[in-house]
């Protein structure tokens, strides 16, 4: 990142199509396409902007957009900007998705959108079943993999790799702001035709500056580092399994799953916030979430496990969860 700032300066001072595209942006987009095994990719200032600028250029009133009911807010807002017919299917319910596909057969094109990993639940979408239905009903399969890129799969390539489907998703959106460096930036990866069309028509890409060059340089380095050190993904998986097992042994009931997002349902928002606050007093940073981020009555704390955590770190956190849970009467 320092080298990128030294070479390119703080920012582009322009939108991409005027004079805001630097060679580091092109290099990063080629690298992302190679990493996700698509023909091409385009970067945005955030994945929020990637989802916000994806649907409207590709779909109109003749088309249908089919979305999981718990998809991320950025997907919901992107759908609101699109004139396509809207169909919402029940969360990860394949019968409900089939019904939506059946009910939209009169549409010119159908696009199915799902999160790869749902951020508040830590659940992994059933991509093989979604792919099968999309093939059966001639629909486009799109996945927001923001919470899986750099995390799931043997080499960190996300939910498609997790299911052995790497390279089989029609459109992928994701972020550079989490596992891949934690900086600015989002992306869309797809066929060359889709990407070239978005370059011309996606308003959230056309009318805002490119991501800062130092962030692009940092994201490139993050992908290189991930590919050179697959043991980081293995360590993350081991840390996650250990933490989930010990947390359950304490008496907590985390939402089941294999991801490093470990939500623990508490119930009332006040209880979740109290638990989060007291854990912070113990030196453990776990955020509490309540309505409207999650539905009424399902307030939770959400632990996030990292490859950088040692066993000592995890044991310290588990000890604090034990003490504070008993103090508050949650355990």
Residue 235: how many other CB atoms lie within 10 Å: 16
Domain edges within the chain: 2-228, 231-327
Query: Has 178 been annotated as catalytic?
Result: yes
Q: Is the pLDDT of residue 298 over 90?
A: no
Per-residue pLDDT at 60: 96
Which is nearest to 149 in space by CA: 57, 223, 45? 223
Domain at 231-327: CATH code: 3.90.1150.10
Mean pLDDT taken over the chain:
95
Among the residue ranges 92-101, 213-222, 287-296, 311-320, the one predicted with the least confidence is 287-296
Active-site residue, from 87, 147, 162, 309: 147
Q: Are the CB atoms for 225 and 218 separated by under 8 Å?
A: no
Per-residue pLDDT at 121: 86
Q: How confident is the model at residue 183 (pLDDT cuts 50, 70, 90)?
A: confident
Active-site residue, from 46, 74, 104, 119: 119
Rounded Cα gap, residues 52 and 47, in angstroms:
8
Average pLDDT estimate for 176-203:
94
Question: CATH classification of 2-228, choosing from 3.40.640.10, 2.40.110.10, 3.40.30.10, 3.40.50.300?
Answer: 3.40.640.10
Per-residue pLDDT at 293: 80
Share of the chain above pLDDT 90, in %: 90
Q: Are the CB atoms for 93 and 114 separated by under 8 Å?
A: no
Q: pLDDT for 56-95, tens place per residue?
A: 999 999 999 999 999 999 999 999 999 999 999 999 999 9
Q: Are the CB atoms for 324 and 253 separated by under 8 Å?
A: no
Q: Are the CB atoms for 288 and 324 separated by under 8 Å?
A: no
Q: Are the CB atoms for 173 and 47 separated by under 8 Å?
A: yes
Q: pLDDT for 117-147, tens place per residue?
A: 998 888 999 999 999 999 999 999 999 999 9
Whether 2-228 shares its CATH topology with 231-327 is answered no
Per-residue pLDDT at 282: 95
Q: How confident is the model at residue 235 (pLDDT cuts 50, 70, 90)?
A: very high
Active-site residue, from 25, 162, 178, 214: 178
Task: List 188's β-bridge partners, or say none.
Answer: 42, 173
Average pLDDT estimate for 37-56:
97
Q: Is the pLDDT of residue 181 over 90?
A: no
Lookup: tokens for 182? 């934690």
Q: Is 256 exposed, middle or buried (0-12, 13-18, 19+ CB in 10 A)?
A: exposed
Q: In sequence order, which ranges of the chain are alpha helices (DSSP H)?
A: 2-8, 23-36, 47-52, 55-58, 73-80, 94-103, 127-136, 159-162, 192-201, 203-206, 213-228, 231-250, 269-281, 311-327
Q: Is the pLDDT of residue 211 over 90?
A: yes
Q: Greater confidence, 210 or 120?
A: 210
Per-residue pLDDT at 297: 86
Average pLDDT estimate for 179-200:
94
What is the reported pTM?
A: 0.93
Q: pLDDT for 3-14, tens place per residue?
A: 999 999 999 999
């Amino acid at each position: 990142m320092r080298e990128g700032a030294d070479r390119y300066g703080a920012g582009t001072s322009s939108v991409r199509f005027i004079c805001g595209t630097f060679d580091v942006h092109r290099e990063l987009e080629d690298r992302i396409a190679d990493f996700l095994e698509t023909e091409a990719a385009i970067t945005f200032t955030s994945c929020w902007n990637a989802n916000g600028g994806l649907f409207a250029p590709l779909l109109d009133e003749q088309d249908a957009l089919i979305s999981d009911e718990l998809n991320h807010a950025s997907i919901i807002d992107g759908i609101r900007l699109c004139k396509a017919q809207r169909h919402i299917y029940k969360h990860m319910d394949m019968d409900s998705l089939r019904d939506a596909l059946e009910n939209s057969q009169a549409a010119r094109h159908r696009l199915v959108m799902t999160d790869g990993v749902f951020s508040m639940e830590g659940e992994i979408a059933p991509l093989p079943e979604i792919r099968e239905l999309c093939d059966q009903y001639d629909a486009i399969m799109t996945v927001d993999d923001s919470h899986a890129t750099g995390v799931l799969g043997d080499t960190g390539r996300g939910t498609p790799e997790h299911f052995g489907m790497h390279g089989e998703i029609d459109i992928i959106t994701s972020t550079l702001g989490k596992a891949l460096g934690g900086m600015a930036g989002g992306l869309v990866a797809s066929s060359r035709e889709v990407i070239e069309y978005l370059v011309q028509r996606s308003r959230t890409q056309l009318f805002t500056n490119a991501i800062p060059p130092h962030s692009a340089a940092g994201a490139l380095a993050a992908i290189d580092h991930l590919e050179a050190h697959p043991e980081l993904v293995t360590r993350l998986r081991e840390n996650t399994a250990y933490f989930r097992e010990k947390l359950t042994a304490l008496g907590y009931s985390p939402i089941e799953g294999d991801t490093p997002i470990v939500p623990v349902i508490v119930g009332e928002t006040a209880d979740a916030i109290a638990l989060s606050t007291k854990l912070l007093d113990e030196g453990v940073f776990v955020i509490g979430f309540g309505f409207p981020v999650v539905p009424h009555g399902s307030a939770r704390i959400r632990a996030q496990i990292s490859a950088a955590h040692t066993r000592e770190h995890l044991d310290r956190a588990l000890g604090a969860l034990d003490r504070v849970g008993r103090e508050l009467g949650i355990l």
